[in-house]
Amino acid sequence: MKIDVLETSALMNVAMRPDFVAAEGRGSWLTDHRGRRYLDFVQGWAVNALGHCPPQIAAALAAQAQRLVNPSPAFFNAPAIALAQRLAAAAQLERVFLCSSGAEANEGAIKLARRWGERQRAGAFEIVTFADAFHGRTLATMSASGKAGWDRLFAPKVPGFPKAVLNDLESVRAQFGAQTVGVMLEPVQGEAGVVPAAPDFLRALRQWCDENGLLLILDEVQTGVGRTGTLFAFEQAGVRPDILTLGKGLGGGVPLAALLARESVAAAFSHGDQGGTYCGNPLMAAVGGAVLDAVAQPDFLAQVQARAAQLQTVLARVAARLGGTERGAGLLRALVLPQPIAPRVVEAARQLPGTGLLINAPRPNVIRLMPALNVTAAEIEQFAALLDRALNEVLAAPLEAPVGEAV
Ligand SMILES: *Cc1c(COP(=O)(O)O)cnc(C)c1O
């Protein structure tokens, strides 16, 4: 059967996608079906921690695929045991549940908090979450999210997620009641446009949770595994969560996520409370091990910090020229533009003559950068040049009505 690569109508139309088909990737570079090359600062939505098709992941997949792919979650397997031990030691949270997506890890975090509330807090089940938060696309994680408009989608919503305002402890306190079991947040709100939680705020939340016997749940699906320059973002604030979720970078591009918890919290789960056919399968766990090996190399995180500083300098220079700002943590950064032209810059960058540039606009005035953690200094310089060209093109054109959000 001959396949027309641009005949896409058999796929459910659930996302606005440009008319190219990703064909191959290598490091920071993606090639489409026409052989056109792009410098990729989207990287599978911040999942390709080591860039496209890193040899370590190919080797881990190939080796494990020939040994054991899935014995079922009813039996232990060595890669899952090893990965769980390493994650538990690194996060200093004793128990790990491996799964396949960030939403699944967060769904598990919510279930664990509710189970703990049932056993330890007389049935308390409410988890305070935040305006503009993003926790995934299952029914419960959509309810936990605070994306504008989502509160009206797929009614009836899952109840139990009162909303507070990031970096405003009073707004959190205002949601506290007899049914409160914990608070859940991202150390940097990624989908909201890369908005960091202040370290002081995280410390104050930790203290508030301790004073009231509540669980602090951190969603590090986007910020975890080196993205912000430390293995976990929470290290930079000096707080430790009771429940932690990881995803994206943990699998370096393959479906792998994790739910971690303190022993005393994890003990709330009974047999049968949580599981899934693919949860803890050795094929993906082996990849997670390979990613952790790379991130644990002596110089790896120092390099992330150095590249982050370089990217920050580039963005600050552009921001100063345009009258905008830049923000973020590590290699999760955003350029905030003074006008709502970010979706047009994304389009212009992709279509630049010669080499294209892939970037993302989580908000009409925000461009988000999430390059591979092993991006090179030369690639960041190339990024700067390509971004300048795309911006100049858009700024030279008359300002039209902004195009829709390209999320
Ligand atoms: C991407 C993301 C999720 C959802 O992860 P999926 O793997 O897409 O289900 C949850 N939380 C945060 C902070 C994310 O960035």
Looking from the CA of residue 103, the nearest atom of ligand 1 is 9
Q: What is the pTM of this model?
A: 0.96
Q: Is the CB of 190 under 6 A from ligand 1?
A: yes
What is residue 402's predicted lDDT score, i.e. its pLDDT?
55
Q: Where are the alpha helices (DSSP H) in 194-299?
A: 199-212, 234-237, 263-266, 282-295
Residue 406 binned pLDDT confidence (cut-offs 50, 70, 90)? very low
- CB count, 10 Å around CB of 340? 17
pLDDT in tens, 273-317: 999 999 999 999 999 999 999 999 999 999 999 999 999 999 999
Q: Is the CB of 130 under 6 A from ligand 1?
A: no
What is residue 407's predicted lDDT score, i.e. its pLDDT?
44
Q: Which long-range contacts (CB under 8 A, 24 or more apart) does 207-212 make?
A: 208/169, 208/172, 208/173, 208/183, 209/182, 209/183, 209/242, 212/176, 212/180
Q: Using the predicted structure, report yes or no on whether residue 351 has a pLDDT greater than 60.
A: yes
Q: Is the CB of 103 under 6 A from ligand 1?
A: yes
Looking from the CA of residue 101, the nearest atom of ligand 1 is 7
pLDDT in tens, 28-60: 999 999 999 999 999 999 999 999 999 999 999
How many alpha carbons fall within 13 Å on the CB side of residue 381? 3
Q: Using the predicted structure, report yes or no on whether residue 386 has a pLDDT greater than 80.
A: yes
CA 110 – ligand 1 centroid, Å: 14
Question: Residues 237, 239, 245, 246: what is their CA dihedral angle, to the nearest 10 degrees?
Answer: 40
What whole-number distance in Å separates Cα of residue 363 and Cα of residue 324?
14
- CB count, 10 Å around CB of 314? 21
CA distance to 127, 176, 182, 292, per residue, from 209 (Å): 12, 11, 7, 30
Nearest in space to 90 (alpha carbons), one of 292, 263, 238, 290: 292
Q: Using the predicted structure, report yes or no on whether residue 401 has a pLDDT greater than 80.
A: no
Bridge pairing between strands 22-26 and 29-32: antiparallel
Q: Is the CB of 132 under 6 A from ligand 1?
A: no
Q: Is the CB of 219 under 6 A from ligand 1?
A: yes
Q: Using the predicted structure, report yes or no on whether residue 5 has a pLDDT greater than 80.
A: no
Mean pLDDT of 366-379: 98
Give SS3 for 194.
coil
Nearest in space to 116 (alpha carbons), one of 257, 276, 273: 273
Mean pLDDT of 242-250: 98
Q: Is the CB of 107 under 6 A from ligand 1?
A: no
Q: Using the predicted structure, report yes or no on whether residue 403 has a pLDDT greater than 60.
A: no
List phi, psi (to 5°) of 153: -85, 145
What is the overall mean pLDDT for the chain?
Answer: 96
H/E stretch holding 183 reads strand 180-185
Inter-residue contact 236 to 199 (CB < 8 Å): yes
Both tokens assigned to 147:
């994306």
Q: Is the CB of 126 under 6 A from ligand 1?
A: no
End-to-end CA distance of the chain: 33
What is residue 19's predicted lDDT score, i.e. its pLDDT?
87
pLDDT in tens, 69-126: 999 999 999 999 999 999 999 999 999 999 999 999 999 999 999 999 999 999 999 9
Residue 148 binned pLDDT confidence (cut-offs 50, 70, 90)? confident
pLDDT in tens, 200-225: 999 999 999 999 999 999 999 999 99
